[in-house]
Structure formats: structure tokens, C-alpha cells
């Protein structure tokens, strides 16, 4: 059955996969949402989990310690767009939203959240006028994310030029209000410091007492989670890093143990992993 799985290209990745298959009940399988479980779309509000994703997760979840969806979205939004609530088999699923500042778990169906950072409200109020002063970039728009604010350039006439032109000024604005700027795939997010997927993932892995960890992501915001898995590996916890392939983010592909081509292949990988674990 193992032959049905893609083979990691690194020795660390092969060790991580072997550890997961040897003791799946001690494994945490963690995944980004947008670009990993859901296709990247021009309007983030229209993103939905790829067909087959929930079925694959429901097949895998009972076999492992936990499945964690780690996302910059509000936890409730990711649950709604993913279709995760009330699904038989997903009792072992949690959503770490806003980079871990919010947490939804399938057992209770509730969201737990920390207090919001005051700088986000200040940026939210200032950003529309700030962008007007920054220059004419038709198609650039603001996404309200509750505990963060994002500026998207994908719809601009020249997305990459708008992205590069706004990165510096938005970085200064974030610093002024005690926030940090996180670049992504044609998106610039302003959010509180200390919130990243690496912190969220490392804390959750420690909480669960995982014996191994798999993380799959597609964007620059997933690099801290990759770094967290690399640190866990250096401390003796095997791990596997999967890149949901994108030519826009070669930094992630270069550090991955295994690269697959977007959400359809992520779903195929999760399905094969569930089948392999069940047949072991």
C-alpha cells in the first residue's frame, strides 16, 4: 500500500512519513486552507474546499491523533468554507484560525479566541485613505479579516507592480501601529506580531504530544510552519513537509520534502495516506 503514496525526495521527509505510518495514532496532520485544501480564487469569499477534500480528511482523521487546519482566515470562516462542521469522522479536527489566535474544534463546535490587537482597528480605519494617497492602483482591494487586514493586488491591471509598490508603504503603516506585514501570493496582510503558523503549529504539536507531524502549505505565510517542523525534527520529532506546488512561491518548493500540484493532488495524497494507514 505504501507504494501508492508519492515518495518524499529527502531523507528527513522519508523518515517523517515512515514515522507517521508506523504510529499514525501519534501523528498530527496539519494543512493550510487557501491554495492547499482550496483553490486560490480572485475573490477570497468564494473559496471553498476542493471536491473530495472533506471526504479525504474524514477518512484520515480517525486514524491519526489530530488533523489541524492552520489558516490566516477567521476560524469560523474556514469551517464554513471548508464544510467541516458536523461531518462524521472529523471529530479529531481542529481549525487554528488567525494564525492560532482563534481555535475551533469539531467536538464542541465552538470558537475560542484571544483579545484583538488595537492596532488592527487603527489600520482598518486608516487604510482606505492611505491607499488613495499611495497612488492609483485600480483593482487593488481590502479584505477585512477580523484580527488582520489584507490588501489584495491580484485584480490590479499589473498585480506584481502594485504588489511591489505597496509593500514598503504598507510595511511602514504596519510598524507605526505595532503590527507586522506578511507578504503572500499577490496579497499583503497587516497583522499583530507573534501570530504566525509556526507558533500555532508548534504549540499545538506540543499540546497533543505528537510523535510525528505532517504540514502542507502553498504560500510565504507557510514558511514559519515549515521552520517549526524543521525545528521539531532537529529536536527528535519526525516530520514531513509538503508543498502544494506554485510557481509563485519557489521558496516553499525548495524546502519541501514532497511537492504536489495544488489542491487536487493534496486531496489525492490525503486519500492515499488514509488508505495506506488503514491497510497497514
The catalytic site residues sit at 32
d(CA 140, CA 154): 7
Question: In sequence order, which residues have a C-beta less than 8 Å from that of residue 270 and are 6 or more positions away?
Answer: 29, 53, 56, 57, 59, 60
Its sign, for the CA torsion 240, 220, 40, 97, is positive
> Three cell numbers at 211?
510523535
Question: In sequence order, which residues have a C-beta less than 8 Å from that of residue 211 and are 6 or more positions away?
Answer: 19, 23, 26, 27, 237, 238
**Rounded to the nearest 5 degrees, what angle is found at the Cα of 42, between the Cα atoms of 34 and 119?**
70
Q: Dihedral of the CA atoms 277, 55, 269, 60 (nearest 10)?
A: -30
Do 40 and 50 touch, CB atoms closer than 8 A? no
Q: To which residue does cell 487546519 refer? A: 69
Which of helix, strand or coil describes residue 214?
strand
Q: To which residue does cell 477518512 refer? A: 59
Nearest CA among 252, 71, 167 for reference residue 241: 252
Burial class (CB in 10 A: 0-12, 13-18, 19+), 129: exposed
Q: To which residue does cell 520529532 refer? A: 237
d(CA 46, CA 148): 19
Amino acid at each position: 500500500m505504501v507504494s501508492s503514496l508519492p515518495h518524499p525526495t529527502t531523507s528527513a521527509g522519508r523518515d517523517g512519513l515512515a514515522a507517521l505510518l508506523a504510529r499514525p495514532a501519534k501523528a498530527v496532520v496539519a494543512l493550510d486552507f487557501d491554495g492547499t485544501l482550496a483553490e486560490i480564487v480572485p475573490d477570497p469569499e468564494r473559496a471553498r474546499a476542493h471536491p473530495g477534500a472533506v471526504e479525504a480528511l474524514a477518512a484520515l482523521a480517525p486514524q491519526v491523533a489530530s488533523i489541524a487546519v492552520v489558516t490566516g482566515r477567521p476560524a469560523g470562516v474556514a469551517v464554513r468554507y471548508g464544510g467541516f462542521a458536523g461531518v462524521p469522522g472529523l471529530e479529531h479536527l481542529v481549525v487554528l484560525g488567525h494564525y492560532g489566535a482563534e481555535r475551533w474544534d469539531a467536538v464542541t463546535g465552538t470558537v475560542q479566541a484571544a483579545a484583538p490587537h488595537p492596532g488592527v482597528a487603527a489600520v482598518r480605519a486608516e487604510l482606505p485613505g492611505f491607499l488613495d494617497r499611495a497612488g492609483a492602483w485600480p483593482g487593488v482591494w481590502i479584505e477585512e479579516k477580523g484580527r488582520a487586514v489584507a490588501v489584495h493586488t491580484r485584480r490590479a491591471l499589473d498585480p506584481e507592480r502594485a504588489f511591489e509598490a505597496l509593500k514598503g508603504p504598507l510595511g511602514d503603516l504596519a510598524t507605526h501601529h505595532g503590527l507586522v506585514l506578511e507578504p503572500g501570493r499577490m496579497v499583503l496582510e497587516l497583522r499583530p506580531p507573534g501570530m504566525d503558523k509556526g507558533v500555532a503549529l508548534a504549540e499545538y504539536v506540543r499540546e497533543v504530544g505528537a510523535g510525528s507531524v505532517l504540514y502542507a502549505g502553498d504560500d510565504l505565510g507557510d514558511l514559519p510552519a515549515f521552520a517549526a517542523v524543521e525545528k521539531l525534527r532537529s529536536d527528535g520529532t519526525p516530520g514531513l513537509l509538503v508543498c502544494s506546488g506554485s510557481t509563485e512561491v519557489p521558496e516553499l518548493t525548495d524546502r519541501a520534502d514532497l511537492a504536489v500540484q495544488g489542491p487536487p493532488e493534496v486531496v489525492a495524497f490525503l486519500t492515499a495516506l488514509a488508505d495506506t494507514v488503514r491497510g497497514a
